[in-house]
Structure 1
């Protein structure tokens, strides 16, 4: 290997690492606030890419029907809770509107615009709207009732949710893979390196999102509420911060990050209904570097995972996945010495 090949592999590793950093960011966020090891994060990535691919073909994406099913199921749960607890009619109507309003609106707009093949920015907005709306609904359906459960129980639920979403992904999107056109076809040569416009978009979007999240947590009331919940759930609840609201917002942000990651990665790789699982696992390896608690260390871990994957594929392409996932073993050993575990009560 010479310096030219090393530079090319390094650029490829940094590009992949930027995507893994976004996935790791979502995983750390979800775990720190809700204690959920969110294995289905990769499904949001796949659904984002496949939704955009369907819109570019002029088809109504399967995400529309999945979102409507989830919204109706969540609405039925809210209705049952309201009748059981004898809510006033006005409160019940407000809750149903809050649950069903946005999913119905974005699904209707998508169903109307999809055959017209609108501009790319409109397709991106529709994709982000559809997938992001799944986040709070998924929390309502699978996790909210278990907010006080142990981490192990929540992990088992996450495994079940992952298989369920993978199955419905096969039903609504089919087994065929899709790759979307690049958002920007420009190419810039810098010495031996050739930077594509899509690569620059990936770096730019990743940096913008990371900075935006930092400002969100530092400057906004909702961001500070999430930080307080992640530090001390009981203390935050005593201060009037709703744990359910924090969990719903966290899953909304995770779904948005996953959808954006899918949009960024879809022009560079073929996405299938189950592709998100591997992407999510690599993001999890990166998140483990930070003990599922530190955003900067998770970011560093994501860059490391991207570089290891890139150079590993050069030396032993058949074993690149094995190499990446083997890295988690010494990291877990190191974390066990740095942060000794304690029994959960």
Structure 2
């Protein structure tokens, strides 16, 4: 291996690692706030990539139908769980968020999709379509059992992943899609050439992390979310709604997943089930970060990307095995370092 190949492998590893960092941070966020190990995070990646690819062709993406279905199911779930104490004001808010909002987004998409929007406008529309799915999913599957054990929540999470994968096949079909590059700019740097898509990955990841840092420290909602992550019981005692915190966490996870999908779509062909493997690599980074540390998760994600890049060069047929093996020594170390702790009552 010469220096040029080494630089190319490092560049590829950092690019992939930046995307895994977004997914790992989303997984840490959801777990710290709701205790849910969010297996379906990868499905938001696939949905985002496929939505962007279909918007590029001037077609209305299948996620519009999914959004409407999720909204109706979320409304019915909230109505069922609260039928003993019906509050007309709350019912109106639920109807507006779960029924009127997805209908408005669907109408806007039907109007804008045939126009073949510019790439960044298509990304923005993709985020608008995918973002509400996070809170809807939380309302349907996790809010009713929010106080269940971590194991129960994990089992439900696996079931949600399988359901979302099946829905992806129904609404998108088995065919793979690829989106156009967000920009055609190229920047030479010695033996390396940075494409506009690669630079977009770096820029979007950096901006997203800075935006999340600002959100957690400045706005009231962000501080409430951080308080819930630090001490769920204490947050409830001072009046912070656990349900609202969960909805916000899942909404941010959906945005980060869709954003990752939009960054991946111009680089690789994405299928309805492609998100699972991509999400698992973000999960490895989150585990290395102990499902608690955002900076450590981001650094671990870069490490995962580098390991994947070098494994692809030296033993491509074992690439996934090598990457997923990273989790074994981490789990062994965590088991010895922390020992057994009883679950929060």
Instruction: State the TM-score bracket (shorter-chain normalisation).
Output: over 0.9
8 Å CA contact retained: 2:56, 2:180 = no
8 Å CA contact retained: 2:7, 2:192 = yes
Q: Per the alignment, in what secondary structure is the counterpart of residue 273 of structure 1?
A: coil
Q: Distance in 2 between matches of 1:11 and 1:72?
A: 44
CA deviations on 1:190-224 (whole Å, 9 max, x unpaired) are: 11111111111100000000011111111121111
Q: Per the alignment, in what secondary structure is the counterpart of residue 7 of structure 1?
A: helix
| CA-CA distance at 1:74 after TM superposition | 1.4
8 Å CA contact retained: 2:120, 2:182 = no
Match of 1:334 in 2: 333
Match of 2:61 in 1: 61
Query: Please, which runs of 5 or more residues in structure 1 have no aligned partner?
Result: none
Q: Distance in 2 between matches of 1:164 and 1:91?
A: 29
Q: Distance in 2 between matches of 1:334 and 1:83?
A: 47
Q: Distance in 2 between matches of 1:309 and 1:134?
A: 30
Match of 1:76 in 2: 76
| CA-CA distance at 1:82 after TM superposition | 4.7
| CA-CA distance at 1:85 after TM superposition | 1.6
Q: Per the alignment, in what secondary structure is the counterpart of residue 274 of structure 1?
A: coil
| CA-CA distance at 1:331 after TM superposition | 1.1
8 Å CA contact retained: 2:224, 2:240 = yes
Q: Distance in 2 between matches of 1:95 and 1:312?
A: 49
| CA-CA distance at 1:93 after TM superposition | 1.9
Q: Distance in 2 between matches of 1:73 and 1:7?
A: 49
Q: Distance in 2 between matches of 1:46 and 1:320?
A: 21
With the length of structure 2 as denominator, give the TM-score of the two structures: 0.97
Q: State which drifts further: 202-211 or 213-222.
A: 213-222
8 Å CA contact retained: 2:78, 2:139 = no
Match of 1:283 in 2: 282
With the length of structure 1 as denominator, give the TM-score of the two structures: 0.97
Output aligned runs, 1:254-269, within 5 Å. Answer: 254-269=253-268
Q: State which drifts further: 96-105 or 293-302.
A: 96-105
How many residues align structurally?
344
